[in-house]
Amino acid sequence: MTEILRVEGLQKRFGGIVVSDNIHLTIGAGEILGLIGPNGAGKTSLFNLISGVLRPDAGSIFLNGQKIDGAPLYKRARMGIARTWQNMLLFRTMTVLDNMLVGPRDYAGESVTRLAFGRAGVRAAEAAMRARAMGILGRMGLESTASSMVVDLPFGQQKLIGLARTLMNDGPLLLLDEPMAGVEGAAYETMQRVVRQEAASGRAVCVVEHNVSFIRDLCSRAVFMANGKILQDGTVEDLIASATLTELYFGV
Amino acid sequence: MDYLITLAILIAIYVILGASYNLVIGYGGLSTVAHPIFFAIGAYTTGLLSVNVPELPAVVNVLLGMVTAVVASVLLAGSALRVSGDYLLIASLGFQLGLLQLIKNLDFTGGPGGLSAIPSTILGAARGPAFLAITGAAAVACVFIIRAIVNGPYGRAISAMRDEELAFTALGRNAMSMKIAIFAIGCGMAGGAGGIYAYYFQYISPDQFEVLASATILTMVVLGGMGTPFGPVVGAILLLAIPQAITFLQLPPAIMAPTQGIIFTVLVLVFLYLRPAGILGNKARAI
Amino acid sequence: MFEPIILLQILWTGIATSAPFVLLTVGFSLTLKVTGLWNFAQSGQMAIAFYTMFFAMNGLGLPLFAAVGLGVVMTAGSAVLIEIYGLQVFRDRQSGNLMFFIFTLILSEFVIYVITLLFGTEPETLYKSILSPVDIIGGIAVSEWDKTGIGLTILALGALYGFMRYTKEGQFLAAVADNAKLAELYGISAQRAYRVVAVISALFIVAAMYLIGSHGGIVPNSPLELVLSAVIGTLLGGIGRVFAAAWASIFLALIQSFSILFIGSRWQNLLLYGFLFATILLFPRGVRMPRLRLALIGR
């Protein structure tokens, strides 16, 4: 299995709180890694460190074997780190399709010079992007929402659109932050299917999720975090079977 | 007739100022009050070049005025936005006051008395109509260029940035350079308007570019409808034309000027209370 | 030229001249600290303060105390009205920074136009003569005006300090300045605090306008320049640091006074803006005066 992401000795503290304590982690192509742990364990912080929202105090991050420590958030997205957000952060004043069209890693149409000197090229690029966006929406059964304003849609659909927008970035790494929080019913199946398809296409996927059955259905491997540390790395079954972790997290 | 042509030219210049300011604050979401200083930079650059380097053609002078405004705007936005978005408001105010003071205290700018004797460029009876045609065309071009910017893919990116800057950046967009670009385009247009202004009126003075001018342009944008392509056009026409209506009353100047000012300010205050989103704006976009 | 007596004279006059600016800056900076607003409506209030006193003394022939009383009533009254029927309306609508900027500035402009219509654009002074009796104390010329200015400023700052430090109302102001929402959770009314601060700054404005108006001529437009000097002092002192802003205005006045030894008088204003530029670009959170002093002693 080809390694996509490697994290080495990642360290981050805010005042007295350590959110990442010597984190080592590797994710390979086609793998779906579950990231579980209690609230405040440092899961979202780890996503923020990997995607570049936060700067680590120490440690390194490698994407496809290449060190990306110095790259800011937007450059990492262009290198192919795509992520979703717990609270979606959709563009509120825009339609679903327009939200999607801001998603691609690199889009020639969004340039003032192209606006002035390459309108035909922009039209072609725009048409191609629209087709791709409609394709992704189609896979999720959301074509009919394309021209709706995102704020007018029910929560579950907004959640799916958050994922769909991120999928416009076709990079090698996909970070999903609590995709199932607040989602019920049909969206569950859709989310499972789409994430599996993405992994099958060769992407590395990492999912933070409290819904353990979602993780069990989806992931072969999972990591348990608490207090900024990785306590265990193994199969989901192993993690659930572990008495200490059960006590820490599942509160049984 | 001359009076009406001058009024129309002034309206066209303020349409450029309003439209470009609207791009910066209404679409770009960048809080700045210093728009008149870029108007001033354009006007002074063009005016000084035309006085001191008479061999340069007028078009080149106006373009150089625009370029200078762009460079100054990039310097200001580049340093202020690094601190924070809110800080731009304060930094822009300081930049405006400081630069005006500099203009007032230097010899070659004409000091507080202003820069006069800017060559007239176009001579004869056709001067007024010719300037009106040029300024009107520039105003229409600005409004439609801005409309094209905000309607296309670039405009989509601008509104995404305004809605959720973090998500926008995490999708691979450089929000900082985009803000600087929007700021530079808007300020460049204001600089161009300044160049035309200098050539038509042949006289510029620092007082015209003070904080009151900031409030005037901002008011045109808000009153017309911030974040709408034609709002600033409506705002500029209304605010310049209505106070002129009493010119026909033949009042003595000592009463005329403050009365026009009172009409202007009352108009603005009434609108701020009753229709904060402006004439063409929708409620969701009120500032 | 550099004799000690001359330097002392410049120092004294510089400090005395800064008095009204200190008062204006403190009023402006305190308002910014508590309400979070760059309240340009204060320039309108400055105009109201001066022209009320001017009219009371020269039009109605009232004695000084009555004129000042009337000035306080008009200025504080207008400040509270602006707060209740203006600023609070926009706060309730959750308007942005720019809305407050236009509203306060246009309101001031409106006041100034009305005053221009009533009083014209000729410079006016409170007294017929602006000459102030001068004593020579230790070789330095000290005018009555200097003494009034410095005394009034010390009194006002002391009263403000005492008010903020020792009264409940003052502590409420500090709480609202710190976090209005949190203060409201503890039962402190932010609106009340905003009105209190409007009255306090009105008092500072009246005092400052009395000093300025008895020292030189004022035209309806003058307050717009005056409010800018308050903005600069506030920026230099650092936002939310009221007493540092006061020091910054004194410092600026002294720099301007002493610069006369080295450069022409017309460059003095420029120097002021040079400081402003440097502050904006290098010290966005204000120049930290006390720390600066410590650093120098340490060396």
Which pLDDT tens digit goes with each residue over A33-48?
999 888 888 999 999 9
Q: Is A232 exposed, middle or buried (0-12, 13-18, 19+ CB in 10 A)?
A: middle
Which pLDDT tens digit goes with each residue over C169-206?
898 888 898 888 888 888 888 899 999 999 999 999 99
Residue with tokens 């998603």: A103
Same structural domain, A69 and A188: yes
Q: Which amino acid is at C293?
A: R
Count, residues in chain C: 299
A86 belongs to a structural domain: no
B118 belongs to a structural domain: yes
C228/B25 CB distance under 8 A: no
Same structural domain, A74 and A177: yes
The token pair that represents B280 in the structure block:
């063409």
Q: Which domain holds residue B51?
A: 2-208
Same structural domain, A7 and A61: yes
Same structural domain, A176 and A165: no
Residue C294's pLDDT is what?
32
pLDDT at residue B83 greater than cutoff 80: no
- The rounded distance, in Å, linking the Cα atoms of B92 and B73 is 10
Average pLDDT score, chain C: 85
Residue C280's pLDDT is what?
67
The secondary structure of residue B210, as a DSSP letter, is S
A162 belongs to a structural domain: yes
The token pair that represents B260 in the structure block:
């026009």
| Torsion angle of the four alpha carbons B123, B126, B132, B137, in this order, in degrees rounded to the nearest 10 | -90
pLDDT at residue C292 greater than cutoff 50: no
Into how many domains does chain A fold?
Answer: 2
Q: Is A184 exposed, middle or buried (0-12, 13-18, 19+ CB in 10 A)?
A: exposed
| Bridge partner list, B230 | none
Residue A117's pLDDT is what?
64
Same structural domain, A70 and A190: yes
DSSP helix/strand/coil, A224:
strand
Domain closes at, from A169, A188, A207:
A169
Average pLDDT score, chain A: 89
> Phi-psi region for residue C148, left (φ > 0), alpha (ψ -120 to 50) or beta?
alpha
Average pLDDT score, chain B: 89
Domain closes at, from A115, A143, A169:
A169
Residue B19's pLDDT is what?
96
Contacts (Cβ under 8 Å, ≥6 apart) of A108: A114, A118, A121, A122, A125
- Residue A136, chain B, CB below 8 Å: the answer is no
- The rounded distance, in Å, linking the Cα atoms of C72 and B252 is 34
pLDDT at residue C1 greater than cutoff 80: no
The token pair that represents B3 in the structure block:
């009076």
- The rounded distance, in Å, linking the Cα atoms of A213 and A83 is 22
Q: Which amino acid is at A176?
A: L
pLDDT at residue C291 greater than cutoff 50: no
Q: Which domain holds residue A193?
A: 1-80+170-252
Same structural domain, A49 and A163: no
Lowest-pLDDT choice from A84-98, A150-164, B100-114, C151-165: B100-114
Same structural domain, A1 and A75: yes
Same structural domain, A187 and A71: yes
- The rounded distance, in Å, linking the Cα atoms of A173 and A61 is 13
Which among B51, B49, B53, B52 has a CA at the least distance from the CA of B67?
B49
Shortest alpha-carbon distance between residue C287 and chain B (Å): 15
Same structural domain, A25 and A59: yes
- The rounded distance, in Å, linking the Cα atoms of B158 and B27 is 7
Same structural domain, A186 and A141: no
Which pLDDT tens digit goes with each residue over A216-231?
889 989 999 988 999 8
Which among B89, B210, B189, B99 has a CA at the least distance from the CA of B141?
B189
Same structural domain, A32 and A2: yes
| Bridge partner list, C137 | C140
- The rounded distance, in Å, linking the Cα atoms of A226 and A37 is 6
Shortest alpha-carbon distance between residue A74 and chain B (Å): 4
Considering only residues 178 to 207 of chain A, which have any Cβ-Cβ distance to chain B shorter than 8 Å?
none
Count, residues in chain A: 252
- The vertex-B235 CA angle with B229 and B239, nearest 5°, equals 165
Out of C99, C107, C284, closest to residue B276 by CB:
C99
Residue with tokens 């004022």: C218
Residue C286's pLDDT is what?
55
* Main-chain phi, psi angles of B8, to 5 degrees: -65, -40
Share of chain C above pLDDT 70, in %: 88
Shortest alpha-carbon distance between residue B126 and chain C (Å): 37
Which pLDDT tens digit goes with each residue over B141-181?
999 999 988 988 888 999 999 889 999 999 999 999 999 99
| Bridge partner list, C273 | none
CA distances from C224 to B190, C37, C46, C97 (A): 24, 17, 9, 19
The token pair that represents A11 in the structure block:
């360290």
* Main-chain phi, psi angles of A81, to 5 degrees: -95, 110
Which pLDDT tens digit goes with each residue over C210-255?
999 998 889 998 898 888 888 888 887 877 788 889 998 998 888 8
Helix extents (H) in chain C: 4-35, 41-54, 64-82, 88-92, 97-119, 144-166, 168-178, 180-185, 190-213, 222-237, 242-259, 268-282, 289-298
Helix (H) or strand (E) run with residue A81 in it: strand A81-83
Taking the domains of chain C in order of start, what are their residue ranges?
4-220
Into how many domains does chain B fold?
Answer: 1
The secondary structure of residue A203, as a DSSP letter, is -
- The rounded distance, in Å, linking the Cα atoms of B71 and A42 is 44
Same structural domain, A126 and A60: no
The token pair that represents B114 in the structure block:
């202003």
B170/A74 CB distance under 8 A: yes
- The rounded distance, in Å, linking the Cα atoms of B224 and B220 is 6
Q: Which of B162, B171, B176 to mutate to test the interface with A (most CBs of A within 10 A)?
A: B171
Average pLDDT over every residue of B192-202 = 95
- Residue B97, chain C, CB below 8 Å: the answer is yes
Shortest alpha-carbon distance between residue B167 and chain A (Å): 6
Which among A200, A139, A206 has a CA at the least distance from the CA of A168?
A139
